[in-house]
Amino acid sequence: MAAGGRVIMTDDTRLGGPTTVGARSPMRPLADGTIRSRVEAALAWEPGLRAGAVNVSVEDAVITLRGVMPTFAQKQAAERVSRSVCGVADVSNALGVRLAIAHTRSDEDLESAVVAALRWSASLPAHRIGVGVKNGVVTLRGTVACQREKDAASRLVEDLIGVRDVANEIVVAPDRDAGNLIPAIEAALWRAAVVDPRQIRVRAADGCVVLTGQVRSWAEREEAERQAWAAPGVRQVDDQIRVLPVERRERE
């Protein structure tokens, strides 16, 4: 860091982006009790979520969610909110789903609803996705061209009335060959605002990408994985990035 607290930027031509030197303030690990309080506050802050039905426990920055939610969508929302909290290393979602009588429907009715929802989606190849339903658990099968379509299918289904769980068995089969993935993904990581690319290493072969390294939050890990999946021709991403959460500097 230069005099006066300025941040020095140096070029990294191998990765195609800048390196920031001395930009971070001193950090320290968060206590589990603090993490729990923050997750509970985040759940209570989320509109439409029955936060009082969620029991939160923490061990070594790993959150475990227990309790019973009225819909599968709320179960998934509780996990997403928990992962977004600063200091959380991972989330184990042990929440159950107990549907209200008004939300209970037959497997045949639910399957018809899922098929219709996929058919009406402008961003999904419904003709390539098969649907099965048993006891309210929706199973998705078939092939899509990218991970974005696979994830979109899950999100589309999880909010339907009557869904107790979703098993997404869709296979990603790119419709084009992978190019030179490593420099393309590294450049994408440099462009991503929430990712520190200096902490992430990329390996790739035959359309399969392996990410290693360590990051400060689950949001950073997810963004790195999303950028890897976005590369044309990727059919698998093995995300081995470790989340080592640390406390941000207190507000002045």
- Written as six digits, the tokens of 6 are 């300025």
Say what the pLDDT of residue 247 is: 64
Pairwise CA distance, residues 142 & 129, whole Å: 5
CA distances from 124 to 128, 163, 170 (A): 9, 20, 12
Instruction: Cite the residue boundaries of each domain of the chain with CATH code 3.30.300.130.
Output: 32-97, 181-243
| Buried residues in 215-241 as b, exposed as e (16+ CB within 10 A) | bbbbbbbbbbbbbbbebebbbebeeeb
Tens-place pLDDT, residues 172-221: 999 888 888 999 999 999 999 999 999 999 999 999 999 999 998 999 99
Q: Sort strands 62-69 and 96-97 into parallel, antiparallel or unpaired.
A: parallel
CATH fold of 181-243, please?
A: GMP Synthetase; Chain A, domain 3 (3.30.300)
Instruction: Cite the residue boundaries of each domain of the chain with CATH code 3.30.1340.30.
Output: 104-172
Pairwise CA distance, residues 208 & 11, whole Å: 29
Tens-place pLDDT, residues 91-109: 999 999 999 998 999 999 9
Q: Which CATH superfamily is domain 32-97 in?
A: Fe-S cluster assembly (FSCA) (3.30.300.130)
Say what the pLDDT of residue 147 is: 93
Say what the pLDDT of residue 16 is: 43
Mean per-residue pLDDT over the chain, rounded = 87
CATH fold of 104-172, please?
A: Histidine-containing Protein; Chain: A; (3.30.1340)
Say what the pLDDT of residue 179 is: 81
Alpha helices per DSSP H over the chain: 32-45, 72-83, 107-119, 147-158, 181-191, 218-229
Output the tens digit of pLDDT for each of the chain's 252 residues: 444 444 333 344 344 444 443 444 445 678 999 999 999 999 999 998 988 899 999 999 999 999 999 999 999 999 999 999 989 999 999 999 999 998 999 999 999 999 999 999 999 999 999 999 999 999 999 999 999 999 999 999 999 999 999 999 999 999 888 888 999 999 999 999 999 999 999 999 999 999 999 998 999 999 999 999 999 999 999 999 999 877 655 443
Say what the pLDDT of residue 127 is: 94
CA distances from 159 to 70, 102, 188, 215 (A): 12, 15, 31, 31
Q: What is the pTM of this model?
A: 0.79
Give me the count of residues in the chain: 252
